[in-house]
A = this chain, B = another copy of it.
Amino acid sequence: MNDSSLVKPHTRQRVLEAVKSLGYIPNKTAQVFKTGRSRILGLVISTQHISELVYNAGFQARFKALTVKTHNEGYNILIISSTDANCDSYFEVIKNQVADGFIILSPSANESLTSLLEEAGIPYVFNMKYSTNPEDIYYVSSDDIEGGYMAAKYLLDLNHTDIRFIVGVVKGSLMPFNVDRLNGFKRALNEYSIEFKEEMIVGIPGQMEESYNLIHQLFQSHWPTALMISNETTTVAALNYFHDHGIRVPQDVSLIGFGPSEFFRNLRPNLTNVSYDITWSSDKLVDLLLQRIEGKMVTPEWPKKPELIIRDSTMRNFRP
C-alpha cells in the first residue's frame, strides 16, 4: 500500500483489491504515532487576532499565503487559538497539539517562550523579530524601517511637513514593526531637517469604530496635510470618515496606507501605499520551519524591501 519497491506488481494488485473489497482505511493516527510525523503545522494566533479578521487584509493575505505554501509542501495547517495574551500560556497550548512544528503569529512573543520551546525541542518560527538576542534567528521579518522611511520621504518630497503617523497600539505599547516604521519615519524627517514632535504619532486601537472616532477627534483638533496609517482597518475607517464629512482625498488630505497592494487598489480613491510581499515572506517562513523539521536546505535571505505604490490618494501640498 505504501508503494514499496520490494513488492511484486502482482502482489500489490492483490493487496489493493483486498483493500477495496474490505473498505480498509489505514488508521492515520497510528501512522502518525509510529512515524512521529503528522505533516501538520500549527498556526498559533490569539483569539483577539481572529476577531479582527474582517478588514485585516494583512492577516488574510498571510493566512492565504501560508495555507497555499503549506499545501504545496504536503502539509496542513492547524489553527491554534490562544485566548490568553500571556506568552507562557502559549507554551501550554502549543505542547498540547499534534503538529510537527509551529508558526507563531504573536504580537507579543518573548524570550521565555523561546527558551521553553527550545528546551522542549519543539520546532517553531515567528513571523517577526521580537527580541534583541542575536541568537534568535527563527523568524522572517520585513524591512519596516525602510517602509516607514519611504512613505515619509515621499510625503516630504511632496512638500508635506504637517504629517501624522497613525499606528496601532496594543495594551499601551507599539508593536515591534511599528517601532521600526516609526524609526524610518524619523530618519526621513531628519534628512529633511524637520523636527520630530511627539504629537506626530497617534496611537489608535485597531478596530473600526474606535478608529473612526479617533480620526474624528484628531481632525476636530488639528487638520494635518498628510496621514500615514499603519493598519488597514484604520485606513478604511479614515476613508469612511472623510467620505462622511466631505473631506476630499487627496485634495484636502493626502493618505498613505501600509499593507497588501491589492487591498488598497480596491478602495476609492485608489490608495498610495507601502506594499510588502507577504507571499514571499510567508513562503520563506514555511521554508525555515521545514528546514528545522526535515533538515530542508534554505538559503538565508535579507528581508525584501517593501515597495511604494503610488496611486491617487497623495498629491503635492500647497498649504503653507
Contacts and interface: CB of A to CB of B under 8 A. Distances in A.
A158 interface: no
A26 to B, nearest CB: 8
Interface residues of A, number: 48
Contact of A98 (B38, B119, B120, B239): B38
A208 B80 CA distance: 31
Contact of A23 (B40, B55, B119, B239): B119
A63 interface: yes
Interface in A40-81: 40, 47, 50-51, 53-55, 57, 60-61, 63-64, 67-68, 71, 76-81
B54 A68 contact: no
A320 B198 CA distance: 59
A230 B183 CA distance: 45
Given A23-B120, A263-B54, A96 B28 contact: yes
A23 to B, nearest CB: 6
Interface stretch (A29-37, A170-178, A184-192, A218-226): A29-37
Given A38-B29, A40-B78, A47-B71, A262 B54 contact: yes
Contacts of A236: 266
A86 interface: no
A238 B135 CA distance: 51
A29 B61 contact: no
- State the oligomeric state as a number of copies: 2
Contacts of A68: 47, 50-51, 81
Contact of A79 (B57, B76, B83, B97): B76
Contact of A76 (B55, B63, B67, B80): B80
Contact of A67 (B81, B97, B244): B81
Contacts of A28: 95-98
Main secondary structure of the interface of A (DSSP, over half): helix
Contacts of A23: 119-120
Interface string A193-228: 000000000000000100000000000000000000
Interface string A261-273: 0110010100000
B47 A36 contact: no
A79 B54 contact: no
Nearest to A79: B77
Contacts of A260: 54
A64 B53 contact: yes
Contacts of A79: 67, 76-79
Given A78-B78, A240-B266, 15 more contacts: A25-B120, A28-B98, A32-B98, A47-B68, A50-B64, A50-B67, A50-B68, A51-B64, A53-B63, A53-B64, A54-B57, A54-B262, A68-B81, A76-B78, A76-B80
20 contacts: A23-B119, A25-B95, A28-B96, A28-B97, A29-B38, A30-B33, A32-B32, A40-B78, A40-B98, A47-B67, A47-B68, A50-B67, A54-B60, A54-B260, A55-B266, A71-B81, A76-B78, A78-B78, A78-B79, A208-B266
